[in-house]
Structure 1
Amino acid sequence: MPDQPAYPPPPEDVLEIGAPEQFAALAHPLRQRLLFALGHRPATTSQLAGQLDAKKGNVAHHLKVLREAGLIHIAETRRVRGGTEQYFQRTARHMLVAEPQAAGTAAMLAAVAHELSRSPAETHLTLRHLRLSPEKARELGETLTRLVDDAEENAEEEPLHGVLVALYQQAPPAPSGTAVSAQDLR
């Protein structure tokens, strides 16, 4: 955007998510979408509301929750037409959730599903189940992380693509005769 000043990168490269208020903040799809939108450049409440097709007051509320959880900060303020315009930015380029919680994971997947449904280009979504030794699983995780990190071009004129990478070990099957509850499926 030509009227937007250049900003330095987020103050941290990696933020490890672990505090209860951070998990609570991540447990809403709009907050996930806001974090996605702030992934490459700071933006104002109005810019985010327009980009995400959301009400400005709703966006402002969710930005406040993210800010109080330490996931975003105000990168800059500018005086405009008698008011103050705030540019929000993520506090870290990468957010690492070492021990994901169900509500935050569900919100993230819901936000990604929303983005997939709005994509103007062909999307790729694959779920595979692989039998891997612990060493091979670690190696695959490191390779996937490196692949995604190395793919970034930093070309402002190119379209923005979302990438979701998940590598997890499936839980062992429940013993026969054990009922699966709705909670287990969440």
Structure 2
Amino acid sequence: MSDQPSYPPPPEDVLEISAPEQFAALAHPLRQRLLFALSQRPATVSRLAEQLDAKKGNLAHHLKVLREAGLVHIAETRRVRGGTEQYYQRTARHMLVAEPRAAGTAAMLAAVAQELDRSAAEPHLTLRHLRLGPAKARELGEVLTHLVDGAEEDGEDQPVHGVLVALYQQAPPTRATGSAERHPPEETG
């Protein structure tokens, strides 16, 4: 039997990230890693410090930022050995960033890179570029979402694996300045 209390799921299934303080909170790799760590179950600062190999004071600061942004909350407070132990939990199972911002995306990718570097097993990392029309791109996105969301998990005693799925359209190449000088834009009158 585990000494970890059982908790209800996060209060929300999906939280849409839209407020400036939420974007600011997501713009730091350690806060991203905290959100990753809290995706399975609530945890104390001590447990998070051990899991993330970080200092408790530093984690407490970043948890405060996440709480103020509404991304985590205190799921339970317990008295232990004359002190108070707080279990932090994500406020939502899924966090949807409708309009990703470069700083948040960079922080998330940096957090994933840190996790890959610390992985106990050899990670699988693939980047492929495909030429797809809008309908096929939408279909691929739906299949990937279904695959990840529908993956059946093993028991609590098994290691946690991170899954990062990104489907994006590359920006078109920009014209070289020399080419723009040779072919000035047409004026409309």
TM-score between both structures, scaled by the size of structure 1 = 0.93
Q: 1:110 corresponds to which residue?
A: 110
**Distance in structure 2 (CA, Å) of the matches to 1:56 and 1:159:** 23
Which structure 1 segments of 5+ residues have no match?
Answer: 179-186
Query: For the aligned residues, what is the CA RMSD?
Result: 1.2
Are residue 42 (structure 1) and residue 42 (structure 2) matched?
A: yes
Over residues 42-73 of structure 1, what are the superposed CA-to-partner deviations in whole Å (9 max), with x where a residue is unaligned? 00011101111101000000000000000001
**Distance in structure 1 (CA, Å) of the matches to 2:132 and 2:148:** 21
Q: CA deviation at 1:11?
A: 0.9
Of structures 1 and 2, the larger Rg is shown by 2
**Distance in structure 2 (CA, Å) of the matches to 1:129 and 1:117:** 24
Which structure 2 segments of 5+ residues have no match?
Answer: 179-189
Deviating above 3 A after TM superposition, structure 1's stretches of 4 or more consecutive aligned residues are none
Over residues 100-133 of structure 1, what are the superposed CA-to-partner deviations in whole Å (9 max), with x where a residue is unaligned? 1000000000000000011111211111111111
**Distance in structure 2 (CA, Å) of the matches to 1:152 and 1:95:** 20
Map 1:29-68; keep pairs closer than 5 Å: 29-68=29-68
Q: Percent identity, aligned pairs only?
A: 83
Q: 2:97 corresponds to which residue?
A: 97
Change (3 A) 1:69 1:154: farther
Q: 2:172 corresponds to which residue?
A: 172
Map 1:17-28; keep pairs closer than 5 Å: 17-28=17-28
The aligned amino acid for 2:60 is A
SS in 1 for 2:175: coil
**Distance in structure 2 (CA, Å) of the matches to 1:51 and 1:157:** 15
The aligned amino acid for 2:83 is G
SS in 1 for 2:150: helix
